[in-house]
């Protein structure tokens, strides 16, 4: 049997940091041993001296190969998961999206086809529900049985993705009964549409108006409304891509009142501010995502919420579009710029640098936010998200001292810009292991397209 020993490293989990050797057999973690204690033969021994051994990152918010109008997000399941691996992420949960009039099972089958033969790391799916007929509502139960126990609903993008509050109520009620977790995009879509219409009528067409027409107050309002609906339905709620401090505060308050409300934020909201929209020319388009980047004050509140445990997950909302050829569709009208930005590769490096190194997070919190809580909330724990006997051997040998300058042309995402161009971070993965196989080493990808498996996930107990 293939037997791998990762020796001399410091193992970091969500609740412990200890010197230990990790023995991997048949793709799983077999044992944790005192350093040097394993006497037997191994197929390979990795020396992790002076480095950390982390559970592989889990990115629970990606949009790979997502069709948007006439084109798709620029990373597919192969390029996107290779980039993820380079950044120390060994599992993604991507958002399958129902088309209008489509059965959820057909939507899932479409996404399965997109991923199989391409994904280099394990993957699961959430389901975005855009058209809630009675039949689709019943299908939500079948979806849970098929290993997709999380749905996303939008309060934004009227006429395209938005569900009205009545439909959201129905999804929440169903999820409350069938053990699914409802993921909420919390922005008040109809109010935003009015602001966009006003801006366009006034000739305000530059990228900065994307942010100005999606104010924090309309994220906070939608977050509070979502929490109220979920609390009434007695269902858990997971608020995706929280960017406004006031939205984070609403989640913290609800949790303090005992509601099962969880919140996710993303590195872009922690490391960039709305000043980015002032980049000369069309540069602000690189940061056109929803919700938009916010103020330094919002950012400080997000960091505080992460530190205090009021937000539980840092994911990416990776949804890249080429600046030249895709985003520039909106060169003369911000409302036509496809929404989304790249991030699947840089999540751990940015959070380590801006969070751990700046003293805002402990290493254990870093692991908790990027691997353990994602696995727990989305039905993958303890198979994923920790380092323990029996868990999948998805591991990262992490060098806390390595400096990396982030540049689009040396990162691996299929996109022609980086929101962090030229920024130097300290701390990066050296070796990445998925299912017991080394897939990144010495800056080279050594894995295989199609090696990633679909992960049926468990509903909530």
270 vs 367, beta carbon nearer ligand URP: 270
Q: What secondary structure does DSSP assign to 384-417, as a single string?
A: SSS--TTSB--EEEEEEEEEEE--TTTS-SSSS-
185 vs 214, beta carbon nearer Zn ion: 185
CB of 183 to ligand URP, least distance (A): 9
Omega prior to 361 cis, within 30 of 0: no
CB of 271 to Zn ion, least distance (A): 18
Give the footprint of ligand URP on residues 299-328 (CB under 6 A): 317, 319
339 binds, among Zn ion, ligand URP, none (CB under 5 to 8 A by kind): ligand URP
Rounded CA-CA distance 284/304 in Å is 27
185: contact with Zn ion by CB under 5 A: yes
CB of 161 to ligand URP, least distance (A): 8
SS3 call for 274 = helix
CB of 128 to Zn ion, least distance (A): 9
Please tell me what DSSP assigns to residue 383.
T
**Contacts with ligand URP, 62-91, as mask; x by CB under 6 A:** -x----------------------------
Would the CA dihedral through 398, 399, 401, 402 be positive or negative? Answer: negative
Return the closest-CA partner of residue 428 out of 396, 459, 460: 396
384 binds, among Zn ion, ligand URP, none (CB under 5 to 8 A by kind): none
CA 73 to centroid of chain Cα atoms: 15
Give the footprint of ligand URP on residues 7-66 (CB under 6 A): 63
* Residues β-bridged to residue 441: 431, 444
151 vs 398, beta carbon nearer Zn ion: 151
Contact 86, 440 (CB under 8 A): yes
CB of 231 to Zn ion, least distance (A): 21
Give the footprint of ligand URP on residues 330-349 (CB under 6 A): 339-340
End-to-end CA gap in the chain: 35
67 vs 390, beta carbon nearer ligand URP: 67
126: contact with ligand URP by CB under 6 A: no
CB of 189 to Zn ion, least distance (A): 11
65: contact with Zn ion by CB under 5 A: no
Give the footprint of ligand URP on residues 164-203 (CB under 6 A): 185
Residue 249 CB-density burial (10 A; 0-12 exposed, 13-18 middle, 19+ buried) = middle
- Counting residues that bind Zn ion (by CB under 5 A) gives 2
CB of 129 to Zn ion, least distance (A): 13
289 binds, among Zn ion, ligand URP, none (CB under 5 to 8 A by kind): ligand URP
Extended strands (E) in 198-347: 237-239, 261-265, 313-314
185 vs 327, beta carbon nearer ligand URP: 185
H or E segment and range at residue 44: strand 44-47
Q: What are all long-range contacts of 165-168, with beta carbons under 8 Å and residues at least 24 apart?
A: 165/225, 165/229, 167/129, 167/132, 168/226, 168/229
Return the closest-CA partner of residue 302 out of 236, 358, 251: 251
**Of these, 98, 290, 299, 365, which contacts ligand URP (CB under 6 A)?**
290
Extended strands (E) in 323-458: 395-405, 424-434, 437-441, 444-445
- Counting residues that bind ligand URP (by CB under 6 A) gives 8
354: contact with ligand URP by CB under 6 A: no
Q: Which residue is nearest to ligand URP (CB)?
A: 339
356 vs 377, beta carbon nearer ligand URP: 377
List residues near ligand URP by CB under 6 A. 63, 185, 289-290, 317, 319, 339-340
List residues near Zn ion by CB under 5 A. 185, 317
């Amino acid at each position: 049997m293939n037997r791998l020993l990762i020796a001399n490293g410091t193992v970091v989990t969500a609740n412990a940091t200890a010197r230990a050797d990790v023995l991997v057999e048949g793709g799983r973690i077999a044992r944790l041993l005192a350093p040097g204690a394993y006497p037997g033969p191994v197929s390979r021994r990795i020396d992790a001296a002076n480095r950390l051994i982390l559970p592989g990152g889990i990115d629970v918010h990606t949009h790979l190969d997502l069709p948007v109008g006439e084109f798709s997000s620029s990373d597919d399941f192969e390029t996107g998961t290779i980039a993820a691996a380079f950044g120390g992420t060994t599992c993604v949960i991507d958002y399958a999206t129902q088309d209008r009039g489509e059965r959820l099972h057909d939507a899932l089958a479409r996404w399965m086809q997109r991923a199989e033969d391409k994904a280099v790391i394990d993957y699961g799916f959430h389901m975005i529900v855009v058209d809630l007929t009675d039949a689709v509502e019943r299908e939500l139960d079948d979806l849970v049985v098929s290993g997709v126990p999380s749905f996303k609903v939008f309060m934004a993008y009227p006429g395209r993705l938005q569900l009205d509050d009545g439909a959201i109520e129905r999804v929440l009620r169903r999820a409350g009964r069938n053990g699914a977790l409802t993921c909420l995009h919390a922005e008040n879509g109809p109010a935003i549409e009015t602001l966009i219409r006003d801006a366009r009528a006034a000739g305000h067409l530059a990228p900065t108006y994307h942010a100005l027409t999606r104010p924090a107050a309309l994220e906070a309002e939608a977050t509070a409304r979502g929490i109220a609906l979920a609390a009434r339905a007695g269902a858990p709620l997971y608020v995706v891509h929280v960017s406004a401090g006031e939205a984070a505060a609403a989640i913290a308050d609800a949790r303090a009142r005992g509601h099962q409300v969880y919140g996710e934020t993303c590195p872009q909201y922690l490391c960039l501010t709305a000043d980015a929209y002032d980049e000369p020319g069309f540069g602000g388009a690189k940061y056109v995502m929803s919700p938009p980047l916010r103020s330094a004050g919002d950012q400080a509140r997000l960091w505080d919420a992460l530190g205090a445990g009021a937000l539980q997950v840092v994911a990416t909302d990776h949804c890249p579009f080429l600046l030249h050829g895709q985003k520039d569709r909106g060169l003369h009208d911000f409302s036509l710029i496809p929404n989304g930005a790249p991030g699947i590769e840089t999540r751990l490096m940015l959070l380590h640098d801006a969070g751990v190194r700046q003293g805002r997070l402990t290493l254990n919190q870093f692991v908790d936010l990027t691997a353990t809580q994602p696995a727990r909330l989305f039905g993958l724990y303890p198979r994923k998200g920790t380092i323990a006997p029996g868990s999948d051997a998805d591991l990262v040998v992490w060098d806390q001292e390595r400096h990396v300058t982030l540049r689009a042309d040396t990162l691996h995402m299929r996109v022609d810009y980086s929101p962090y161009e030229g920024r130097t971070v300290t701390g990066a993965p050296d070796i990445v292991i998925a299912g017991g196989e080394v897939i990144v080493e010495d800056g080279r990808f050594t894995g295989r397209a199609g090696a990633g498996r679909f992960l049926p996930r468990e509903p909530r107990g």
